[in-house]
Amino acid sequence: MEPIQPPQDSPPPQGRPAPGPAAGPGPYHPGPYTPYGPGAGLGPGPGPYGAPPRTVNGLAIASLVSGIVCCLPPLGLVFGLIALPQIKKKNQTGTGFAITGIVLSSICCLLMILGLVSGAFGEAWKGFEKGMDEASRSQSAFALRTGQCYNVDGKLEAPTSDVKVVDCAVAHEGEVTGTFLLTGFTAWPGEKAIDRIAEDRCEKIGDAYALDTWAIPDAVWMYHHRPSDRSWRAGDRTVACSFVVDGGDPIKGSLRSDGSNLDAGQVAFLRAVNPIDVALRAEPEEDADADLASNTAWARQVHTALTGASTALKGRQWPAKVSAPVAAMVMEIDAAAEEWDELARAADADAFWEHYDRAYDMTTWKSEPAARRSLGLTAEPGPGTSV
C-alpha cells in the first residue's frame, strides 16, 4: 500500500507570492484600531498620558497667604470665599488652603476691631512713629540740612562724625548754616585743600544765615564737616557749614536771622551795615611796617564798606520811630569813613599808625543800639563772636 500523501495546495495564482507562515503574537499586538486608543469611551487609560492632574486654585493660595501675614485681612477673607465655589466648579484642589485663609483672616479682622476699640493700635502707632523719628534723627553729618540743630556723637573734629538732630528749642552743640558741593576735582583733593575752600565758603554762608551778628554768643564759632577720603570714594562731595559751641554753654534757640524770620526793614538795615564787619575781618596778618600796601588796600576796603552803608541807609524810607536813630547813626558812619580814607592814603607806616587806632574807635557807633532797638533787633552787642 502506498503511503497517503497529504493533499497538495493548489498552486497560487500566477503573479502572487506564496503565503508564508502565519505571524505569531508579538509584543506590540495592538488589536483592532480605534481613533482614541484602547478602551475608548471607557474613561482615561492608565499611565502617564491619561487625564491632566488637578490644579490648585490661585485665590485659595492668596487667601492663605493673606491670612498668615495678616495684612488686609478682609481681602484674605474675600479671596477664600470666592475660591471655594471655583474649586468645586473647576474640579481644582486648594479647599484646605481657602478654609485656612478664611479662618485666619477672620481672626485678624476680629483682632483689628478689638484693637481699634481699645486704642491699642493707637499706642502701637505712636511707638512706631517715635522709633522712626529717632532713627531719622541719627544720621551722618553729610545728610544735614540748613537750619537743623544737632548734638555730636564723639569728637567734633572727626570728618565723619555721627550727629543726632534735635529740636533747636532745646540745648544743642551745632546748627547748620548751609551746605555746598565740592566741584572741579577728579580725585580726592586732600583735607587741607577742602579746608581752604570751606573756610571761605562757610564764612559767607554763615554771614547770610545770621544777619543779626549781635545775637551770636561769644563761644560760638564757624565749623565745617567735610568728606573723608573714604566717603569721597563712595561719592560724597558735601560740606556742611555750622555754628558750633566751643567750650561754652550749649546753644539755646536758633541763631538764624535772615529773610525767613526778619522783616524787610530789619534785613535792609543789617545788609547795609554787616559788610563793614566783613571788611574789618579781612585785616592782613602782617602789619603796616612789614606790608604797607596790603594794609592801605584793606583800609580802602573798609572805607568802601562804610560809604556803601551810609548810601544804603540814606536811600531807604524808614518809619518815623526808626528814622531819627538811623540818621544819627549815618552821621557817625560818615565821620568814620573820613578817618578810614586818611588811613587808606597813608604814605608810610608812621602815617598809617597815626590814624589806625582812631579809625577803629570810630567804627563803634553810640547811636547803633537805639537804631537796632527801634527796628526790633538785638539792641545790646554780645561779647563778640569768632565767626
168-192 pLDDT per residue, tens: 999 999 999 999 999 999 899 999 9
State residue 294's pLDDT score.
Answer: 97
For all residues of the chain together, what is the average pLDDT?
81
Q: How confident is the model at residue 313 (pLDDT cuts 50, 70, 90)?
A: very high
The percentage of residues in the chain with a pLDDT greater than 90, rounded to a whole number, is 49
The SS3 call for residue 177 is strand
Across the beta sheet with 149-153, what order do the strands follow? 138-140, 162-166, 149-153, 174-181, 238-245, 220-225
Is the per-residue pLDDT at 222 higher than 70?
yes
Torsion of Cα atoms, 313 then 316 then 321 then 324, to 10°: 40
Rounded CA-CA distance 270/175 in Å is 21
pLDDT digits (tens, 9 = 90+) for 128-152: 555 444 444 445 556 788 999 988 8
State residue 126's pLDDT score.
Answer: 63
State residue 272's pLDDT score.
Answer: 97
State residue 341's pLDDT score.
Answer: 97
Rounded CA-CA distance 276/253 in Å is 27
pLDDT digits (tens, 9 = 90+) for 359-378: 999 999 999 999 999 999 99
Cα torsion 196, 198, 204, 207: sign: negative
Is the per-residue pLDDT at 122 higher than 90?
no
Comparing 206 with 58, the larger pLDDT belongs to 206
Phi and psi (nearest 5°) for 45? -80, 170
Phi and psi (nearest 5°) for 149? -110, 150
Is the per-residue pLDDT at 159 higher than 50?
no
Contact 139, 161 (CB under 8 A): no
State residue 125's pLDDT score.
Answer: 58
Q: Helical H runs in 168-287?
A: 191-209, 229-233, 264-281
Is the per-residue pLDDT at 18 higher than 90?
no
Q: What is the pTM of this model?
A: 0.62
Half-sphere exposure of 129 (CA within 13 A, CB side): 6
The SS3 call for residue 93 is strand
The percentage of residues in the chain with a pLDDT greater than 70, rounded to a whole number, is 75
Cα torsion 32, 33, 36, 38: sign: positive
> Residue 243 pairs with which residues in a beta bridge?
175, 222
Q: How far does CA 381 lie from the centroid of its chain?
A: 37
Comparing 18 with 237, the larger pLDDT belongs to 237
Is the per-residue pLDDT at 112 higher than 90?
no
Average pLDDT in the 105-132 region? 68
Q: What angle do CA 22, 26, 30 make, to 5 degrees?
A: 105
Q: What are the E-state strand segments in the chain? A: 138-140, 149-153, 162-166, 174-181, 220-225, 238-245
State residue 277's pLDDT score.
Answer: 94
